[in-house]
Amino acid sequence: MSETACGIDGCRAGWIGVLLPEADAPIAAVTSDLVEFLHHPLAPPVIAIDMPIGLPERVGAGGRGPERHARAVLGPRQSSVFSIPSRAAVMSGDYGEACRLALATSEPPRKVSRQAFGLFPKIRALDALMTPDLEGRIFESHPELAFRQLNGGAPMSLPKKVKNVPHPPGLDERRALLVRHGYPPAFLERPPRGAGLDDLLDAAVLALVARRIARGEAECFPPVPERDGRGLRMAIFA
């Protein structure tokens, strides 16, 4: 059986994964339980996921090293990279308490946005799953960095979302790039139930990142990652 790369993105129903076998058609699936992708029958040896891995105890200006290094190359798309607050803030299920903890563990002091707070349950789910031993299989990635790699090192010219709403011209630009890199056009037209088209495109590009990681071709931001208090690598691969 040929090896299968897997890209995973969060979606409204939980998680969407695109499984990309070497010699077969891609598969898209949605699940509420992230672990299902690890135990999928295709057994993907490398998974790239758009969710932070590694949570710092304190955060400086611009967030973790991965966020700072990613923004430096993304130009007009740098606003797509969120600053991840401290582990204490992420672990809080109460917005007011998360803001208080974020203020106490950041320099300069910074609260948590409502949008970022909405991601915390998924960040916690991945953090609970991760161990240093899983680092050879699960890698943090970011769709806009991944699209930049496919686009010859140039950030995408159009935003994927405008005012937090999917932007059709930006989606079309990304879909066309994915087709040029081997995806069947029909696969990228209709997402599975529970996911949006933007989620499908993001998971699809992350599957290509997973393939590059498996081949030793991916770029690491930053080149020399730091580790958090649990020993988890803090790096974005693309």
pLDDT at 238: 97
| Residue labelled with tokens 């129903």 | 13
Torsion of CA 126, 129, 131, 137, to 10 degrees: -80
pTM for this prediction: 0.95
Phi then psi dihedrals of residue 107, to 5 deg: -140, 110
pLDDT for 45 equals 95
Cα of 220 vs its chain's centroid, Å? 14
Q: What DSSP designation does 195 have?
A: -
In a domain, 74, yes or no: no
The answer to whether residue 219 is domain-embedded is no
Residue identified by tokens 């960095």 is 145
Query: Which residue range forms the structural domain that includes residue 24?
Result: 4-53+138-214
Predicted confidence at residue 224, as pLDDT, reads: 96
In a domain, 209, yes or no: yes
| Residue 75 covered by a domain | no
Does any domain span residue 94? Answer: no
Residue 87 lies inside a defined structural domain of this protein:
no
Report d(CA 107, CA 213) in Å as an integer: 33
Domains: count for the chain: 1
Confirm whether 224 is domain-assigned.
no
For residue 41, give the 3-state DSSP assignment: coil
Residue 202 located in a structural domain: yes
Nearby residues of 143 by Cβ (< 8 Å), 6 or more positions away? 9, 50, 80, 160, 201, 202, 205, 206
- Tens of pLDDT, residue by residue, the chain (238 residues): 458 999 999 999 999 999 999 889 999 999 999 999 999 998 899 999 999 999 999 999 989 999 999 999 999 999 999 899 999 999 999 999 999 999 999 999 999 999 899 999 999 999 999 999 999 999 999 999 999 999 999 999 999 999 888 999 999 999 999 999 999 999 999 999 999 999 999 999 999 999 999 999 999 999 999 999 999 999 999 9
> How far, in Å, CA of 229 to CA of 238, rounded?
24
